[in-house]
Chains A and B, each alone.
Chain A
């Protein structure tokens, strides 16, 4: 056994969860592994982690990492509401939401949008397979126009792009990646967790059982052929020294509120991740070219989250006692007398 531990003294195993019950080869399982790696490397304290999800194969995955953390597998499409309430109750919790494309872009689209609008401090991961895995392969709203179901049905509707929706709503952190690309996913998860505000991470995650055939645009082979990464992301947490090993001029360094850094090495296009209009353009151009653009699309380092705007204290509301919550006897008597 290797005795490797992270900065808070925990071994990697402390970040594992129950054995997965998903299909072998499911993209969601890869994301679970990236999650374990990211949380381990960041040294997230398990007791501060709150794993939230809706319903779907994707939403089951919080059971498969950091078993000792609290988790809440709620109802279909309503993870944002549960997350919002829990976050307000205890700002010390690190809210990590996992959802599917059905959970987010269909039944939960309203809550997804309103969570972004409020800028709730949480990470929102969409394990996006373009299908309803758990109910056996119906098209989801992120399925591309013209993509073909396993049984041959062709999707005749325009897809909803969660990243485009998020950007339009002023989301303060928008990224896309692919479940097979751990090198990109892991730093993005870390950056999303460090971000203060809603961080949306749309991870294309092929469903090997219902959506991994030639007619699908969310299959392993399609993604491999069409992926175009806008930047090579690396994340340096606040507790590590920043050292830049890229060529100057091609690297952009963005500092997050907690002092950690995201470094982006430009590949191809010169994408500035703090430019929202540029992000929209990149998505649109990729779409017309039939490319899947991955990477950190947009980041607002000055993001102010909902609880801060609402003047909720950093210390948990949950801990307040009678003395801090009730009116005093004098206040009560005075208040009552005003009804006379």
Chain B
């Protein structure tokens, strides 16, 4: 046998959408994770409910790399329709576990085959007629467990964890897994180098969470009380998780009363409108959507900006333009969301790069919205939002809510009612507001999206208009320094720097180790919010060449940085873009960079 390859491989399960394969995939993932081995699963699924090909890519590395990798070590071929195509993706020397009836007549000779009669086994060994189709997928889990050496205890743990709320399903699924496990033991001997072995270190204290779960929890901890949404992939699971968590944590067990209102609106215009209405009334309010929905929200986003209403808008990006590829990822809404709406509108945008930040930024977005009285966009994406990521457990917040500048009845009494809604009292551009329902005769004011003076009265005065717009700019500058600062790592001491944001982070981390190994160590700055921090320009000034890496065609953030740079620094900036709908792999950064720096690959 050749050298063993331990805990460093990518499994690709090629199945059919709607067949129940996702449960099997998750069980396999959890079992390996339970062995202390870092996992990075990616779901590649069609925009369809049943019958189309779907792939689950489960990457295992000792280092804990979490980016996608363009290489298949072990193929589990369940789908006759994609069999030939799938076979081509396997690396030379790789492994193919396939349904026995698939023809290997003119197949490749540089891979190891393990044919398994999945259908026959399902028919003869699974007694439960109604669940046979779903349970058949578990047989593959058993075969892979045998193939890679996953201990039975890990499988038991994974199944129990998967069916926490349905304990009756545990033995049924374990029995099905056992069918595959036994088939492996009875029929095959190991002919390939891949093995899994329990390990410690990287995975300790870590959990597996989807970004949309993290964001839903963050929103709850941030005190959201009104959420309105309209279903759209890949954002739906954010509000669906929110509903489930609220059912558990925000419902009075005795009265059934809820400490949150979640409305499934008739469209995204209504969804964001409801959130803005609630934010105006003083609630912590949110909506969640993706591409097409963000487009529909444009008019209301401008109202939120100009009338200065706090609201949190999640955009879980998918690839456009238009309907695009609804189930594929991208970072192509950044430029649009940043200036969403007509006129001189610009917004605060948070860019979480990990699931932990999905939690933290979702939570803190409500503080920023209240503090700056403006819409705050949280831009996640399908990769971050809908895939499971290893993460340290999230931290319990150590601060109370920051409700911003709100004048209470007592404040108004102290001021003898002398205040103006849009007056810049503190010089930071952030005015004071009152909430509807405040029992003071001077509390009320008239909010409008039309021109207004300090007192919120209608005006078309040129001076008032310009003064107000300048104050809004001042407010934006105050926010610039208050939002999450970039994370900078200059430990490489390199003259080359990388800049990235959002889910690209995982690929950058991996690429940096590869580059260091290729004798090209690079520094790294990760942007976490717009408007850009001044530190971005400083970072560029400290490096000879800086590569901006992002998952869109046009280099949207590259453009924003160029605009911020003094002319002398503009030439230092380069752009690396990945936009095929698949999460960016590290190679998509490493290779162009080495090429550009003329280092032999």
Question: Which positions in A face B, CB cutoff 8 Å?
Answer: 18, 21, 45-48, 50-52, 62-63, 66-75, 78, 80-90, 92-93, 110-111, 114, 118, 307, 310-313, 316-318, 320, 322, 324-327, 329, 331-333, 335-340
Out of B258, B274, B279, which one reaches A81, CB within 8 Å?
B274
- Does B397 contact A90, Cβ atoms closer than 8 Å? no
B225 touches A85 (CB 8 A): no
Within B565-597, which residues are at the interface with A (CB < 8 Å)? none
CA distance A46 to B458 in the complex (A): 21
In the assembled complex, the CB of B455 is this many whole angstroms from the nearest CB of chain A, namely 11
A75 with B270: in contact, given A47-B437, A90-B437, A93-B281 (CB under 8 Å)? Answer: no
List residues of chain A with CB within 8 A of the CB of B441.
Answer: 46-47, 68
Q: Is the CB of A93 within 8 A of B437?
A: yes
Measured CB to CB, the closest approach of chain A to B141, in angstroms, equals: 19
Q: Does B217 contact A (CB under 8 A)?
A: yes
- Cβ of B217 and Cβ of A312 under 8 Å apart? no
A114 to B443, CA, bound (A): 31
Report 29 cross-chain contacts, Cβ distance below 8 Å, ordered by A residue: A47-B444, A68-B442, A71-B445, A78-B299, A80-B270, A81-B228, A81-B265, A84-B263, A85-B275, A85-B277, A87-B277, A88-B226, A88-B261, A88-B274, A89-B279, A89-B281, A111-B269, A312-B257, A313-B258, A318-B435, A318-B437, A320-B223, A322-B223, A325-B220, A335-B217, A336-B394, A337-B207, A339-B208, A339-B213
In contact, B263 and A326 (Cβ under 8 angstroms): no
- Would you call A85 and B274 a contact (CB within 8 A)? yes
A81 touches B437 (CB 8 A): no
Q: How far is the CA of A2 from the CA of B209 in the complex (A)?
A: 68
What are the 4 A-B residue pairs with the smallest beta carbon separation, nearest first? A81-B273, A85-B277, A89-B283, A85-B278
Q: Tell me whether B125 is interfacial, beta carbon within 8 Å.
A: no
Q: Other than A62-B446, A85-B281, A325-B224, give 7 A-B pairs with Cβ distance below 8 A.
A: A78-B270, A81-B228, A88-B261, A90-B282, A317-B259, A326-B397, A337-B207
Q: Is the CB of A74 within 8 A of B273?
A: yes
Residues of B within 8 A of A83 (CB): 277
> Are B446 and A92 in contact, CB atoms less than 8 angstroms apart?
no
Instruction: Give Cα distance in the complex from A338 to B207, angstroms.
Output: 8
Residue numbers in B under 8 Å from A81 (CB-CB): 228, 265, 269-274, 276-277
Partner of A329, one of B396, B437, B444, B447: B396
Known: A46-B444, A78-B300. A317 touches B225 (CB 8 A): yes
Bound-complex Cα distance A231 to B257 (A): 40
Q: Smallest CB-CB separation from B394: which chain A residue?
A: A336
Contact A88 B257 (CB under 8 A): no
Q: Considering the chains assembled together, what is the distance between the CA atoms of A340 and B162 in angstroms?
A: 11
Q: Known contacts A73-B450, A317-B225; decide if A88 and B444 are in contact (CB<8 Å).
A: no
Option from A111, A310, A324 in Cβ contact (under 8 Å) with B261: A310
Chain B residue with minimal CB distance to A323?
Answer: B400
Q: Which residues of B contact A331 (CB under 8 A)?
A: 249
Take A47-B438, A335-B217 as given contacts and tell me if A85 and B458 are in contact as well, using a CB distance cutoff of 8 Å. no
Contact at B278–A70, with CB atoms within 8 Å? Answer: no
Chain A hits for B213, CB < 8 A:
339
Q: Is the CB of B446 within 8 A of A63?
A: yes
The answer to the question of B102 belonging to the interface, with a C-beta cut-off of 8 Å to chain A, is: no
The answer on a CB contact under 8 Å between A114 and B270 is yes
B482 at the interface (CB under 8 A from A): no
Q: How far is the CA of A45 from the CA of B436 in the complex (A)?
A: 12
| Residues of the A chain whose Cβ atoms lie less than 8 Å from the Cβ of B436 | 47, 50, 70, 86, 90, 93
Contacts of A74 in B (CB 8 A): 273, 276-277, 303, 449
| A55, chain B: closest CB distance, angstroms | 8
Residue of A62, A67, A78, A318 touching B273 (CB-CB under 8 A): A78
**Chain A residues near B285 (CB, 8 Å)?**
85, 89
Provide the residues of chain A in CB contact with B543, threshold 8 Å: none
The chain A residue sitting closest to B203, CB to CB, is A340
- Tell which of A45, A80, A326, A335 has the most Cβ of chain B within 10 Å: A326
**Cα of A292 to Cα of B275 in the assembled complex, Å:** 38
Contact, CB under 8 Å: B447 / A73: yes
Tell me, in angstroms, the Cα distance from A75 to B273 when the chains sit together: 9
CB of A69 within 8 A of CB of B400, answer no
Measured between alpha carbons, how far is A222 from B183 in the docked complex, in Å?
87
Partner of B445, one of A70, A87, A336: A70
A20 → chain B closest CB, angstroms: 12
**B110 touches A (CB below 8 Å):** no
Q: Which residues of B contact A326 (CB under 8 A)?
A: 220-221, 223, 397
Smallest distance from the beta carbon of A170 to chain B beta carbons, Å? 16
Q: A47-B437, A73-B450 are in contact. Are A89 and B282 (CB under 8 A)?
A: yes
CB distance from A97 to the nearest CB of B (A): 11
Instruction: List A contacts of B271 (CB < 8 A).
Output: 81
B250, B258, B447: which contacts A70 (Cβ < 8 A)?
Answer: B447
- Least CB distance from A317 to B in Å reads 4
Q: How far is the CA of A68 from the CA of B440 in the complex (A)?
A: 9
Q: Is the CB of B207 within 8 A of A336?
A: yes
B225's contact among A322, A325, A337, by CB below 8 Å, is which? A325
**Complex Cα–Cα for A332 and B397 (A):** 10
Kindly list chain B residues whose C-beta atoms are within 8 Å of the C-beta of A46. Answer: 441, 444
Contact indicator A336/B281 (Cβ below 8 Å): no
B144 on the interface (CB 8 Å rule)?
no
- Say whether A325 contacts B259, CB under 8 Å: yes
Are the C-beta atoms of B443 and A47 separated by less than 8 Å? yes
Check if B274 sits within 8 Å of A82, measured CB to CB.
yes
Interface residues of B in 237-281 (CB under 8 A from A): 249-251, 255-261, 263, 265-267, 269-281
**Chain A residues, CB < 8 A from B303:** 74-75
Chain B residues within 8 Å of A47, by CB = 436-441, 443-444
Question: B456: nearest residue on chain A (CB-CB)?
Answer: A71
Point out the residue from B217, B256, B434 that lies within 8 Å of A311, measured CB to CB.
B256
Q: Shortest CB–CB separation between residue B388 and chain A, in angstroms?
A: 9
Q: Is the CB of A332 within 8 A of B208?
A: no
Known: A93-B437, A320-B223. A82 touches B257 (CB 8 A): no
Closest chain A residue to B256, Cβ basis: A311
The answer for the CA separation of A87 and B260 in the assembled complex, in Å, is: 13
Asked if B226 contacts A317 (CB within 8 A), the reply is yes
Taking a contact as CB atoms under 8 Å apart, the answer to whether A73 and B448 are in contact is: yes
Contact A111 B270 (CB under 8 A): yes
Of A21, A48, A318, A327, the contact of B283 (CB 8 Å cutoff): A318
B257 and A72 contacting across the interface, CB-CB below 8 Å: no
Measured CA separation A329–B280 after assembly (Å) = 30
Q: A85-B278, A90-B281, A336-B394 are contacts. A322–B400 as well, Cβ < 8 Å?
A: yes
Please give the distance in Å from B171's CB to the nearest CB on chain A: 21
Give the CA-CA distance A80 to B228 in the complex, in Å.
13
> Is B457 in contact with chain A by the CB < 8 A criterion?
yes
Chain B residue numbers with a CB within 8 Å of A82 are 273-274, 276-277, 280
Taking the nearest CB of chain B, how far is it from the CB of A214, in angstroms? Answer: 34
Report A323 CB to chain B, min CB distance, Å: 10
Q: Is the CB of B273 within 8 A of A85?
A: yes
Q: Is B469 an interface residue (CB 8 A)?
A: no
Q: Is B83 an interface residue (CB 8 A)?
A: no
Residues in A neighbouring B164, C-beta threshold 8 A: 338
With A and B bound together, what is the CA distance between A318 and B433 in angstroms?
Answer: 14
| B470 interfacial by beta-carbon distance below 8 Å | no
Minimal beta-carbon separation of A133 from chain B (angstroms): 16
Separation in Å of the B233 CB from the closest CB of chain A?
22
Cα(A118)–Cα(B401), bound, Å: 31
Q: What are the residues of chain B within 8 A of A48 when measuring CB–CB?
A: 437
Provide the bound-state CA to CA distance between A85 and B250, in Å: 18
Question: Which residues of the partner chain B approach A337 to less than 8 Å between Cβ atoms?
Answer: 207, 393
- Per-residue CB contact flags for chain B residues 404-420 toward chain A (1 = under 8 Å, else 0) read 00000000000000000
Chain A, residue nearest B221 (CB): A326
State the CA gap A313–B261 with chains docked (Å).
10
Q: Report whether A339 and B257 are in contact in the complex, using a CB–CB cutoff of 8 Å.
A: no
